[in-house]
Structure 1
C-alpha cells in the first residue's frame, strides 16, 4: 500500500508541475503586418505619393473657382468687350478643375501621364451664351530626360504654351490675344546647356468647317531662359491655309523682386485665315479675323508673397478693306491672403476702328475667388 500511494503521489506531483509550467508560459499571438497607407514620394517635388503596391508617384491637384463679371451694354457702335461677356446684367460662373499627374522612373527616363478634368457651371460665360459641361482639356503621355522631352497628347498648342518663356501674350489671366487653341499633337522639347531650348510640334489641323488633311500643322520655337530673363522666336505653319505666322519676344526679370517681370511680344502673319495668328474683334457684330501684325507689352510686379499687380497693352492691325485695328488694355490685382487662396480682380478696355467706322470702346471686368490644392 505504501508503494502504491507513493507512486500515485509522484504521478500527481509530476502532473501539477507540468500544468504549472504550461500555465506560466506566455501566450504568443502573430504580429499583424504593418499597414503602409501613404508613402511620400519626394523625387518630383511636393504633393506626390506612391500608389500602393507600385513605384509610380501620383499627385492630385486642381482648384475650385467662382467668378462674377460685367461689361458695358453693347450697341451697334460698340466694340465687343475684352472678356467676351454677354451684355445686360452680371456674368457669373463657377469652375472646378482636377489634375492627375503620374510619374515613374524607367531605363528610358521619366515616364509621365497627365489627365485634367474640368467642369463649369451651367451659366453662360461668353457673348455666345455657350452652356458649359464636363470636358477633358489636357491629356498627354511624355518621356523625358535631362536632354529633352517627347510628348504626345491633347493640350494647348505649342504655339501658345511650350518652353519656360514665351507662353500666352500678356500677364493678365486672359493673356490678351495670342492664337490660343488646344490641339492633338506630338512634340519634342530639347534642353541645351546655359538655358537654351528648342521645341518642334506637329499638330492636328482638323478645324471646324475644314476638310481633314494629311499634312499636319507645324510649330517650332527656339529660345534661351536664364536668371535675367530670356528671348525666343516661334514659327507656325498652317497646312490647311498654306500660310504662316511668327512671333518673337523677350522677358526681363526684375532684380531683387522675385516673380516680377516685363514681357514684350511681336506677332506677324501673312493670311487673314492663319490658325496661329492672334484674333481681333473689329466690329460690333463680332466680326473676327487674324491680325496681320500685333505688338503687346505688359508688366507684373510682386510686392510680396501676398500681393501683386499687373498692367498690359496690345495693338492689333488687320487685313483687308478699311485696315481695321484694335487697342486692348488690361489691369489686374492679385491678392493671396492665405496660402492657396487667390482673390483676383481684372478690368479690360477694348476699342476697334476701321476706315469709315469708329466704334466706341467697351469696358469689362471680373472679381474671382479661387482655392487651389
Structure 2
C-alpha cells in the first residue's frame, strides 16, 4: 500500500512539473521599449536624431502667397499683376565625423500661378512646376551640388538688383574656410545659363569670396570669371549697425556681359533697415546703374538708370509675416515704371 501511494505521488509530481514547463514555453516575450525621437541640440534648434542613428535631421519650410505688380502694360501677359503661391520644404541632415561636420540638404518647392509668363519669371519654365531648388552635400569645408551661389546674397530690402537676371542657382564644387572672424571660399561653377551669351565652347566659371567681421561691421569681397564669355565681375558689400538699424552699401563692376552680372557695366546700391518696433521694419533703398545697354560683342554702353523704393516687414504673429515693397524705375527717361509685391508667408 505504501509503495502504491509512493508511485502515484511521484507520477503526480512529474505531471505537475511537465505541465509547468509546457506553460513556460508558450509565454510570449515582453516587447522591447520603443525608442522615442530625441532632440539633437548639437547643430542648433529644430534638429532631432533619426531613430537608430547618430544623424540629426531638421525639417522646415514655408507656405507663401504673393501678389506681384508692374505698371508696364503686358508685364504679366494681359495684366499688370499676378497672384501666385509657393509651398517649400527643406530637409537638412547633420552628423559629426572624423573629417568634420557632414551635411546633406534637400530644398524642394512647387509654384502655382495662372499667369502664362510666371514660370519664365520664376526661372522654372512652367506655371505649376515642382522643382528641387537646392540639393547639396558638405563635408567640412568641401561642398558640392546644385545651390544658390554667393551672388544670391543682396542687401536688406527688395530694391537692389545685385545679381544676373538669369539667376544664381548653379551646379558647383566649392571649398570654404571658416574662421572666427574671417571666411574665404573658392568655387567652380558649371554655367548652364552660359548658352544665352556663350562665344566659345567652354562652359564653366570660377568664384572667390572673402568675408570679414570688423566689430559691428562686416565686409564681403566677391569676384567671378565666366570662361564662356571671357568676362567677369567683382562686388563689394559692406554692412554696419548704425543707430536703430542696419546700413548696407554695395557696388558691382562687370568687364562685359557674363553669367554673374549682366545688368550694367557698374552699379552702386544702398539700403537702411530701420527697426521701428520688434515686429515692424522699414527699409528704404536706392540703386544706380551705369551703361545698361549691350552691343553685339557683349560690351556695355548707352543708357544709365536708377531704382528707388521702400520695403516694409511686419511680424503678424509667431511663424506668420507680411512683406510689401514698391519701387520706382527710371532708365534715362525712356523706361519709367513702378513694380513691387505684397507677400504673406507662414514659416515653420
Same fold (TM over 0.5): yes
Which 5+ residue runs of structure 1 have no aligned equivalent? 18-26, 76-83, 162-166, 280-290
Once the two structures are TM-superposed, the CA of residue 212 in structure 1 deviates from its matched residue by 8.0
Q: Which moved more, 1:238-247 or 1:207-216?
A: 207-216
3-state DSSP class of the match of 1:331? strand
Alignment partner, residue 85 of structure 2:
94
Is 1:248 aligned with 2:236?
A: yes
Maintained 8 Å contact 1:188/1:200: yes
TM-score by length of structure 2 reads 0.82
Once the two structures are TM-superposed, the CA of residue 216 in structure 1 deviates from its matched residue by 2.8
Maintained 8 Å contact 1:177/1:278: no
Aligned residues: 330
| 2:184 maps to which of 167, 175, 198 | 198
| 1:155 maps to which of 138, 142, 147 | 147
In structure 2, what is the Cα distance between the partners aligned to 1:343 and 1:91? 17
In structure 2, what is the Cα distance between the partners aligned to 1:232 and 1:89? 37
* RMSD (Å), alpha carbons: 3.2
Is 1:307 aligned with 2:280?
A: yes
3-state DSSP class of the match of 2:145? strand
In structure 2, what is the Cα distance between the partners aligned to 1:212 and 1:118? 34
Alignment partner, residue 330 of structure 1:
309
Once the two structures are TM-superposed, the CA of residue 263 in structure 1 deviates from its matched residue by 0.6
Richer in strand (by share):
2
Once the two structures are TM-superposed, the CA of residue 192 in structure 1 deviates from its matched residue by 3.0
Which 5+ residue runs of structure 2 have no aligned equivalent? 14-23, 294-299
3-state DSSP class of the match of 1:217? strand
Q: In the TM superposition, what are the counterparts of 1:112-127 in structure 2 within 5 Å?
A: 112-124=103-115, 126=118
Alignment partner, residue 36 of structure 1:
35
In structure 1, what is the Cα distance between the partners aligned to 2:139 and 2:175? 10
Once the two structures are TM-superposed, the CA of residue 276 in structure 1 deviates from its matched residue by 1.5
In structure 1, what is the Cα distance between the partners aligned to 2:251 and 2:69? 30
Maintained 8 Å contact 2:159/2:286: no
| 2:134 maps to which of 127, 134, 138 | 138
Q: In the TM superposition, what are the counterparts of 1:1-373 in structure 2 within 5 Å?
A: 30-74=29-73, 88-124=79-115, 126=118, 131-132=126-127, 133-144=129-140, 149-158=141-150, 160-161=151-152, 167-168=153-154, 170-173=155-158, 175-179=160-164, 180-193=167-180, 195-206=181-192, 207-209=194-196, 210=198, 213-214=201-202, 216-254=204-242, 257=244, 260-271=245-256, 273-279=257-263, 291-318=264-291, 323-353=302-332, 358-373=333-348
Which structure exhibits the higher relative contact order, with contacts defined as CA atoms closer than 8 Å and separated by 6 or more residues?
Answer: 1
Maintained 8 Å contact 2:183/2:211: yes
